[in-house]
A and B are shown apart, each in its own frame.
Chain A
Amino acid sequence: MSETPSHGPNLGPVKYIMPKWVRGPQDFVGGIALIAIALFALWASSDLQGMHGFSFGAGTAPRMFAVLLLGLGIAVMVVGLVTEGAHLATYAWRGPLFVSLSILSFAITIRPLGLVISAFATFLISALGTHETRWKETIIVGIALTAFCSFLFPYGLGLPMQLWPRFLVQ
């Protein structure tokens, strides 16, 4: 849990996972990921029609951009291979995990359970994302914020949004 934004070659704690001949692991892995994305896009757009005559088919532009990305991915990878660069950054698990979980829980519960329960649960789950959370104040702020959102979105802004669980309303 101790990582600062990744700038410059001198990063804090560095673990060597990469073989020695990769001189800039950050770009090397970044380039490989871009290549993978490009190949995936090429595969995903392979069933689309290409050029016919002078006019573009549906698949022309996607394939064009995918090929371009493939080339750039290779370039980034090669740069990472031959020039001295930053090492791989270490990832924290706590923040990403709980923030993702809270987003997921919101998406799943908003329809069946309504805004009030969903928003409050999202607040609490995302608060798990740091060990510095103090539960008393978090719960108080969570309640206040849920109340505020329940007023602002459906009433203040007139967005159609269900407040309470479906089984209670019916």
Chain B
Amino acid sequence: MSDLFSNLALGFHVVFQFVPWSPAWLGGVSIPIPANILLCLIGALVGTLVGVLPGIGTIATVAMLLPITFGLPPVGALIMLAGIYYGAQYGGSTTSILVNIPGEATSVVTTLDGFQMAKQGRAGPALAIAAIGSFFAGCVSTVLIAVLGAPLTKLALAFGPAEYFSLMVLGLIFATVLAKGSVLKAIAMIVFGLLLSMVGSDIETGASRMAFNIPELADGLGFATVAMGVFGFAEIIRNLDAGAEMDRDLVQQKITGLMPTKKDMIDSAPAIVRGTILGSILGILPGGGAVIASFAAYTFEKKIAKDPSRFGRGAIEGVAAPESANNAAAQTSFIPLLTLGIPPNAVMALMVGAMTIHGIVPGPQVMQKQPELVWGMIASMWVGNLMLIIINLPLVGIWVRLLRVPYRLMFPSIVIFCAIGIYSINNAPVDVILAGAFGLLGYWLIKHDFEPAPLLLGMVLGPLMEENLRRALLISRGDATVFFTRPLSAVLMATAAFLLVLALLPSLRKKRDEVFVESET
């Protein structure tokens, strides 16, 4: 217990640190600035911005900002990127409630009751409950990360290559089971991602693999490039299909009375708690993370409600539960990344990219060797949540005004930012062309109902899986049964097989689709 407090104290110390800042154009003068706090604020602001604006996703934004973090110290870079992810969960609700368009995939269900509340003139309480729920969930999940961090790291250190490989298999199976759409196609996307990760030089022999003597491919496909292609560019092209003029019937009346009534608070308090619990659990599991958490929380609230017909007509629980759940899940999805070094979703996969840029190999050793990095990030989440509730409640008017920026002006701007961002990673024009090609590939994938998120996950886990598979088989002298004879590994593998069978059973498949059914209506 005292460990926990000293760790958190270290974290807060890192967050509030002042560092001397002496940019070239100040001519050698250095000013002490609280760099990490500022980066946390920037992350929260950018996150809210992308959350509010429909048409830019979190994954594309984090990919876009990866190159920017080059010049930052690693702690600051990770604090900022984390802020974008959970910040977007706050911002997404604003658009859902006021415009009836989800600002993020994670707030799709919030549109159902949130917009109805806004139409009844209760936009203020809806926004307030969404933010309060998110804040509560943020606080709880920050504590959860801090509590679970150390013990899970100890467990992870006992893992050998065989266990690691089995764990990754389990993670990937989870990712397909919890994702939306066909399990078969999701697995196909993962394997496609694994295959893409093989491009470049082999770590052990140094042999060039599938690089066709193109020097830019010698180091492999950068996943910032692929992510920006399949999430950034593909998303833009897809949005243009539907016509740039998105239907935005903004709630015109002024938002008055942000404060929810006492009855609102009493109604939504249990929903917030349930949403937080559900979201925290689903966030730790690899896979959909925040998206599935919000859907599941909504479905759950509807199931246990005394009068389910209220849902879809402005029930405040229908806003409180999913908004708490998505924020809880966004934050707890950091747990597998920080303790095991395994990213549970596409955003975390990009965080792995950010860590690699700074020469940090994600895994249990990070928490031991660089405690200030991990604990600084955890502490920053709490500070970030505090900032976000201020950014989102009193300042909601500013964000609403931003919604009036038409997509026809927004999309060329995103194209430029993406292009410059990719170019600046290696100063390589070829990377930009590659991202464009992956954009077209992503567009094709969307048209054929293939989810691009598992592809990115496979791509990040590919090298790790290969390395651990190699080492496990080398240690066992070529005996492939090692994955089933070592007890821990066998349990993981059995769970993975069990899950896969469950997901393919017709009756359970129907249940799984039921969770997502709300989005279709």
Shortest B289–chain A CB gap in Å is 21
Shortest B64–chain A CB gap in Å is 12
What are the residues of chain B within 8 A of A30 when measuring CB–CB? 185, 448-450
* Interface residue A54 (Cβ < 8 Å from any Cβ of B): yes
Q: Which residue, B420, B432, B435, has most C-beta atoms of chain A within 10 A?
A: B420
What are the residues of chain B within 8 A of A132 when measuring CB–CB? 243-245, 408
* Interface residue A58 (Cβ < 8 Å from any Cβ of B): yes
- Contact indicator B447/A89 (Cβ below 8 Å): yes
- Majority secondary structure of chain A interface residues (helix, strand, loop or mixed): helix
What are the residues of chain B within 8 A of A54 when measuring CB–CB? 473-474, 477-478
Known contacts being A1-B241, A66-B195, is A106 close to B423, with CB within 8 Å?
A: yes
* Interface residue B424 (Cβ < 8 Å from any Cβ of A): yes
* Interface residue B194 (Cβ < 8 Å from any Cβ of A): yes
What are the residues of chain B within 8 A of A108 when measuring CB–CB? 429
* Interface residue B358 (Cβ < 8 Å from any Cβ of A): no
Known contacts being A66-B195, A104-B433, is A158 close to B71, with CB within 8 Å?
A: yes
* Interface residue A81 (Cβ < 8 Å from any Cβ of B): no
* Interface residue B430 (Cβ < 8 Å from any Cβ of A): yes
Chain B's interface size range is: 35 or more
Cross-chain contact of A37 among B192, B433, B462 (Cβ < 8 A): B192
A124–B408 alpha-carbon span in the complex (Å): 11
* Interface residue A145 (Cβ < 8 Å from any Cβ of B): yes
- Contact indicator A103/B415 (Cβ below 8 Å): yes
Bits for B210-254, please: 1 = Cβ < 8 Å to A, else 0. 101000000000000000000001001110111111000000000
- Contact indicator B185/A76 (Cβ below 8 Å): yes
* Interface residue A95 (Cβ < 8 Å from any Cβ of B): yes
Bits for B429-459, please: 1 = Cβ < 8 Å to A, else 0. 1101101100110011011111000000000
A3–B112 alpha-carbon span in the complex (Å): 24
- Contact indicator B439/A149 (Cβ below 8 Å): no
Cross-chain contact of B191 among A53, A72, A124, A138 (Cβ < 8 A): A72
What are the residues of chain A within 8 A of B430 when measuring CB–CB? 107
Known contacts being A94-B240, A108-B429, A159-B67, is A6 close to B440, with CB within 8 Å?
A: no
What are the residues of chain B within 8 A of A86 when measuring CB–CB? 449
* Interface residue B398 (Cβ < 8 Å from any Cβ of A): no
Known contacts being A30-B185, A49-B207, A145-B413, is A161 close to B473, with CB within 8 Å?
A: no
- Contact indicator A99/B236 (Cβ below 8 Å): yes
What are the residues of chain B within 8 A of A142 when measuring CB–CB? 412
A44–B447 alpha-carbon span in the complex (Å): 27
A88–B444 alpha-carbon span in the complex (Å): 11
- Contact indicator B409/A6 (Cβ below 8 Å): no
* Interface residue A61 (Cβ < 8 Å from any Cβ of B): yes
Chain A's interface size range is: 35 or more
What are the residues of chain B within 8 A of A99 when measuring CB–CB? 233, 236-237, 240, 411, 415, 439
Residues in A109-144 with C-beta less than 8 Å from chain B: 110-111, 115, 119, 122-124, 126-127, 129-130, 132-134, 137-138, 141-142
- Contact indicator B449/A1 (Cβ below 8 Å): no
Known contacts being A62-B210, A110-B423, is A130 close to B244, with CB within 8 Å?
A: yes
What are the residues of chain B within 8 A of A61 when measuring CB–CB? 198, 466, 469-470
What are the residues of chain B within 8 A of A122 when measuring CB–CB? 412, 415-416, 419
A89–B243 alpha-carbon span in the complex (Å): 16
A123–B286 alpha-carbon span in the complex (Å): 38
- Contact indicator A49/B241 (Cβ below 8 Å): no
Q: Which residue, A138, A141, A159, has most C-beta atoms of chain B within 10 A?
A: A159
A12–B411 alpha-carbon span in the complex (Å): 25
* Interface residue A7 (Cβ < 8 Å from any Cβ of B): yes
Cross-chain contact of B188 among A49, A72, A91 (Cβ < 8 A): A72
Cross-chain contact of B237 among A4, A88, A96, A161 (Cβ < 8 A): A96
What are the residues of chain A within 8 A of B241 when measuring CB–CB? 1, 3-4, 92, 95
Shortest B25–chain A CB gap in Å is 7
- Contact indicator A103/B436 (Cβ below 8 Å): yes
What are the residues of chain B within 8 A of A92 when measuring CB–CB? 240-241
Q: 9 more A-B contacts (CB under 8 A) besides A99-B411, A146-B416?
A: A8-B520, A29-B448, A48-B209, A49-B207, A58-B209, A99-B237, A123-B413, A126-B415, A132-B243
Closest 6 CB pairs of A and B: A95-B240, A103-B436, A58-B207, A54-B478, A30-B448, A107-B432
**What are 26 A-B pairs at a CB distance below 8 A?**
A26-B448, A29-B448, A33-B448, A45-B210, A54-B477, A56-B469, A56-B470, A58-B207, A65-B462, A66-B195, A92-B241, A96-B440, A99-B236, A99-B411, A99-B415, A102-B412, A103-B415, A106-B419, A107-B433, A119-B420, A123-B416, A130-B408, A133-B408, A142-B412, A149-B420, A161-B420
Which residues of A approach B to under 8 Å, CB–CB?
A: 1-8, 26-27, 29-30, 33-34, 37-38, 41, 44-45, 48-49, 53-59, 61-62, 65-66, 68-69, 72-73, 75-76, 79, 86, 88-89, 91-92, 94-96, 99-100, 102-104, 106-108, 110-111, 115, 119, 122-124, 126-127, 129-130, 132-134, 137-138, 141-142, 145-146, 149, 153, 155, 157-161
